[in-house]
Structure 1
Amino acid sequence: MTLHTPSLRFKFALFFIAASACLASAEAAKPSKNKVSAKTAQSQGALYATREDAMQFADDLASRRNLDPAWVRQAIGQSRFNPTVARLMQPPTKSFVKNWRVYRSRFIDPVRIRAGVDFWQANRSTLARAEAEYGVPAEIIVGIIGVETIYGRNTGNFRVMDSLATLAFDYPSSHPRMQERSDYFKGEIEQFLTMESRRNADPLKPLGSYAGAMGMPQFMPSSQAKYAVDFDGDGNIDLWNSPADVIGSVASYFKAYGWQPGMPTHYPVSFDTSRLDMDALMAPDILPTFGVASFMAKGAMLEGPALEHQGPLALIELLNGPDAPSYVAGTENFYAITRYNWSSYYALSVIELGREVAQAMGQGNGR
């Protein structure tokens, strides 16, 4: 799920939203007693028409965006508080140990690989066109769509306006950054209603994730406004039913976030314990910071093509529960994937799912 926020602190905070949504989609093809049902997703809470603050926001939004005030009041007023959405936004009450192998198994599985092959075969020419136009490999695009929604199988069953309104006006007050998050989702309502007005569409119909992410690529409204493209040329952007628009929009997103055509996403890394400065290597987190020489001077050893890499690298750590962590050297393209979801686990799952699908297609290219 793509998330765009005004501050670095908030971006890290909202990582938990995106990670939770992705883990939920990972279970979409599996029966689970914990899965949110459609009935629960559409929980009938109070209408926001009864809330003075929500109606004042509607009037202000309509004036600011030059929208029909009655239409905006109707859209927000007929949205309902959804207690399930509010509950899912609460931080986990129990700590958990990150485990890359477990995380990977939820996304790299036969169901997604088979679905990915079908998607690639059905959209081969469009994926090739997107790669030629934006420089983003087909396998990365395929990996994103597979991790997010299993190629449209699980795009969410929460009414988007209910989710956005709940999080804009009733974000859990116990959260230390409640106001900041509330303001973020008010901005998403503004983007969403502006788009729906331009399309002359009913804003109460679209369904998405509990955080308001939409369609096959799970774009938040602000992401759709900035990066979505009409890649099938029909004059409309449809992220639910047009694979071409989805493919082009994902590629557009990555190009906007600095994707470097032809650059690998990561390299293997080992350690020279005699000079290893792990604190220094880990200090920038996933932000590529070190040139090859300075990376190796701190004890992170590279070999082969990695020695010729031009550009900064980051040491990416993936915990494996009680076992030793896994490490890779991430490039600027690895970092670009984390702009879709602020998680190195997510990014590597996207890369490896795309690679598995490519190999199943008989055209893995090692990117």
Structure 2
Amino acid sequence: MFTRTELLNRRHLLATLCAAAGAVSTPSIAQNRARRARSEPAPETYYAERADAMRFADDMAARRGLPADWVRGMIGQAVFLPNVPRLMLPPPRGTAKNWRVYRSRFIDPVRIRAGVRFWERNRATLARAESQFGVPPEIVVGIVGVETIYGQVMGNFRVIDALATLTFDFPPQHPRAQARQAFFQDELEQFLSLAQRTGMDPLSPLGSYAGAMGMPQFMPSSWVRYAIDYDGDGRIDLWNSETDVIGSVANYFVGHGWQPGLRTHYPVRLAPEAQMDTLLAPDILPSFSADSFAAKGALAMDGGLSHPGKFALIELQNGDPARPGNEPEYVAGTENFYVITRYNWSSYYAMSVIDLGQEVMLAMRG
């Protein structure tokens, strides 16, 4: 175990050595310290003080072929963030979803204007990505806008602290606690392996409370699998290189099955006798052909009858349905709609991405 003074000395030395390696661009240590001081209270618990964390570090080092002292040093300098486990808990049961309220968080004049500027700066890169990957510019623009307002809000949590907190202190009352904790254990391993391989300082990057990084908010595993050096400068920089961001987001979608030229959704008309329980049972997973969709009382409009793939009936609730004007809205989601939900498992999220991209595109044309 280390004393607090020894931890701080080791942290300073390791940060200096890692920064000198510098193969991956990250925010400066000084900037991170200042921003973290504004967003987080003084840490109380270092994971070096936790026997379970040190055992994990030793096991990880053995599995990944990494220097054990380095892994122990990095995990040992992570601190417990007491607010993060609470942020992971789902809303209380009975909380009504509201699509109009959710949409208003992302579709607003500030974000649209920022999206126009992003599109104008990167017109050629967005066209190149569409040609190479088949992902339309408005989808990429929608993702980056919803995630971080085009880099304006990328998170103030130190990534290693967030990932360590969710690895060792995931809230046990979460309905999927075991699976989610295992997910974050893997993300912590991916993050440290990435840092060791590229020379990135693991103590420097800031991100979301879940450990997502950069303008597109990639988790470490997504960074490893899908982030690409799209500007050709020899490094991947999802914090500062909009070109790398665009190429990486498009590559992410292709990796999850994006089909070029396929629409994301169609308007739908529901018959009074529509078999709603059957239609909604698969949730966002496309499960019905156009014919079987129609046979169950859901008619995909605006060319949807000739859609060659599968549909999912997407329900967007608007609060308490018993109140007048709060009726749910519905669309017929395609396989490409489902691909967008691989970024965030939510039909509300996917529709916000689509709508923001469309609004920015309309503003560009106007």
Q: Specify if TM > 0.5.
A: yes
TM-score w.r.t. the length of structure 2 is 0.86
Contact 2:39–2:156 (CA under 8 A) maintained in structure 1: no
Contact 1:43–1:83 (CA under 8 A) maintained in structure 2: no
Counterpart mapping for 1:127-276 below 5 A: 127-273=126-272, 275-276=273-274
Moved over 4 A (4+): none
Which has the higher Rg, Structure 1 or Structure 2? 2
1:310 aligns with 2:308: yes
Contact 1:43–1:82 (CA under 8 A) maintained in structure 2: no
Contact 1:288–1:332 (CA under 8 A) maintained in structure 2: yes
Q: Can you give the 5+ residue segments of structure 1 that lack an aligned partner in the other structure?
A: 1-35
- Superposed CA deviations along residues 252-291 of structure 1, whole A, max 9, x for unmatched, are 1100111111111111111221x42111111111111111
Aligned to 2:96: 97
Which one of 268, 281, 290 corresponds to residue 288 of structure 2? 290
Contact 2:36–2:157 (CA under 8 A) maintained in structure 1: no
SS at the partner of 2:262? Answer: coil
Q: Aligned-pair distance for 1:37?
A: 8.4
Identity of aligned residues (%): 64
Of residues 80-89 and 209-218 in structure 1, the stretch that sits farther from structure 2 once superposed is 80-89
Separation in 2, partners of 1:121, 1:42: 39
Structure 1 residue identity aligned to 2:72: R
Aligned to 2:84: 85
Distance 1:95 1:276, change over 3 A: closer
Distance 1:328 1:93, change over 3 A: closer
Contact 1:264–1:333 (CA under 8 A) maintained in structure 2: yes
Q: Aligned-pair distance for 1:175?
A: 3.2
Which one of 336, 340, 345 corresponds to residue 337 of structure 1? 340
SS at the partner of 2:345? Answer: coil
Structure 2 residue identity aligned to 1:264: R
Structure 2 residue identity aligned to 1:362: R
Distance 1:95 1:281, change over 3 A: closer
Distance 1:59 1:279, change over 3 A: same
Separation in 2, partners of 1:354, 1:38: 34
Contact 2:283–2:312 (CA under 8 A) maintained in structure 1: yes
Q: Aligned-pair distance for 1:40?
A: 4.1
Q: Can you give the 5+ residue segments of structure 2 that lack an aligned partner in the other structure?
A: 1-34, 321-325
Aligned to 1:357: 360
Separation in 1, partners of 2:42, 2:254: 38
Q: Aligned-pair distance for 1:202?
A: 1.2
Distance 1:286 1:175, change over 3 A: closer
Separation in 1, partners of 2:300, 2:179: 41
Of residues 63-72 and 312-321 in structure 1, the stretch that sits farther from structure 2 once superposed is 63-72
Separation in 2, partners of 1:177, 1:344: 20
Distance 1:91 1:268, change over 3 A: closer
Q: Aligned-pair distance for 1:102?
A: 0.7
SS at the partner of 1:290? Answer: coil
Distance 1:176 1:336, change over 3 A: closer
Contact 2:268–2:299 (CA under 8 A) maintained in structure 1: yes
Contact 1:160–1:209 (CA under 8 A) maintained in structure 2: yes
Contact 2:266–2:302 (CA under 8 A) maintained in structure 1: no
- Superposed CA deviations along residues 264-319 of structure 1, whole A, max 9, x for unmatched, are 1111111221x421111111111111111111111112333212211111111000
Aligned to 2:65: 66
TM-score w.r.t. the length of structure 1 is 0.86
Of residues 89-98 and 145-154 in structure 1, the stretch that sits farther from structure 2 once superposed is 89-98
Contact 1:272–1:300 (CA under 8 A) maintained in structure 2: yes
Structure 2 residue identity aligned to 1:190: E
